[in-house]
Amino acid sequence: MTEGGPTMKRSHKEDLRLYDLRCMICCAVLVLIAAIRPLHAQDILPGSLSCHTGGADCDTLCLYSQRTDTVSVPLITFPAAFRQMKENVLTDSLGILNPFWEKLRLSRLGASADTLRIVHVGDSHIRGHIFPRTTGALMQDTFGAVSYTDVGINGAFCTTFTRPDRIADIAALHPDLLILSFGTNESHNRRYNTMLHYRQMDDLVRMLREKLPNVPMLMTTPPGSYESFRQRRRRRTYKINPRTAVAVQTIRRYADENGLAVWDMYEILGGIHRACLNWQEAGLMRPDHVHYLPDGYRLQGELFCQALLKAYNDYVEY
């Protein structure tokens, strides 16, 4: 019995320690359970985000989610001879073309059943049909309900269309967008005068606006061209027409000062240094060094459509 006494005391102390340990464990478990219980709320799916609050991130997410009406912009393969080109974009800092882009957007989304009418007026580059009809076919493939009408006259200056009957014919087409492509023939006059060219453009645009007051207008600049020289008993030689660059600047200045958009094909395809050489070295110009082979005009039409599609996407993404 004496020997068993100390053993009983040690066993009792151990029991007390075990009891205390169990109590501590139970308390710890209860604390953990209490801490974990509020996390059950995470099982509930959060409500949809609202963009009516002031969070910048939320606004960005909502804008991104609405960008479903952009279109694919095709890539264009250039001939190896083409160098020193610029970005193929329209210049429209005032948003002159925005009403037209909005009509296109609504048509593409099915909110409008109207056929949008594009009318392209110009000189022999337009009269040859390949350039404008390439653009028109690509626009129709992209947007569907688009008609693209070209009205060109060989050898035309912008003043060629200032006759009242020709203005009436253009107005009768009821365009939603009017494109004006001149400058080649103006710049081939060796007595070319920038002030006269400016006034002639103004006469045409003023007469068109009287008949079509709410129609946005877009000007294009001419591609590069050469002028020819021939001395007695010598072969004809060709030299880059130096007045084309001056005519291009006059067109751009007029458009900027009078609320027209511009597609500067001349500058985009090489400007004063390469606009002529690119086409000539690629073998895309006709022997007269003014007009272009079908592949050249098709490339111009593809480029113009690409610039239009980029501008449309810029509008719907804004």
Q: What is the pLDDT of residues 63-118, one digit of tens each?
A: 333 456 899 999 999 999 999 999 999 999 999 999 999 999 999 998 988 999 99
Q: Are 143 and 116 in contact (CB under 8 A)?
A: yes
Cα separation, 303 vs 264, in Å, equals 11
Q: Which amino acid is at 255?
A: A
pLDDT at 125 over 80: yes
pLDDT of residue 14: 57
Q: How far is CA 114 from the centre of its chain?
A: 22
Ordered by start, the domain boundaries in the chain are 72-317
CA distances from 180 to 120, 183, 218 (A): 6, 10, 6
Query: What is the dotted CATH code of the domain comprising 72-317?
Result: 3.40.50.1110
pLDDT of residue 158: 97
Closest CA to 294 of 128, 150, 135, 151: 128
Longest pairwise C-alpha distance within the chain: 148
pLDDT of residue 20: 62
Q: Are 234 and 276 in contact (CB under 8 A)?
A: no
Q: How far is CA 211 from the centre of its chain?
A: 28
Cα separation, 161 vs 158, in Å, equals 6
Cα separation, 96 vs 209, in Å, equals 14
Cα separation, 121 vs 1, in Å, equals 125
Q: With b meaning 16 or more CB within 10 Å and e meaning fewer, what string describes 56-67?
A: eeeeeeeeeeee
Give per-residue pLDDT as tens, 22-76.
666 665 655 555 554 444 433 444 443 333 333 334 343 333 334 568 999 999 9
What tokens does 143 get?
A: 């947007």
Contacts (Cβ under 8 Å, ≥6 apart) of 37 = none
Q: How far apart are the first and last CA of the chain?
A: 97
pLDDT of residue 82: 98
Closest CA to 269 of 227, 220, 218, 223: 223
More reliable by pLDDT, 58 or 263? 263
Q: How far is CA 297 from the centre of its chain?
A: 20
Pairing of strands 237-240, 217-220: unpaired
pLDDT of residue 269: 97
Give per-residue pLDDT as tens, 202-260.
999 999 999 999 999 999 999 999 998 777 667 788 899 999 999 999 999 999 999 99
Give per-residue pLDDT as tens, 133-191.
999 999 999 999 999 999 999 999 999 999 999 999 999 999 999 999 999 999 999 99
pLDDT at 285 over 80: yes
Q: Which residues share a beta bridge with 257? A: none
pLDDT of residue 235: 79
Q: What mean pLDDT is reported for the chain?
A: 86
Pairing of strands 226-229, 237-240: antiparallel
Q: Please classify residue 127 by burial: count the beta carbons closer than 10 Å to its beta carbon, then call 0-12 exposed, 13-18 middle and 19+ buried.
A: middle
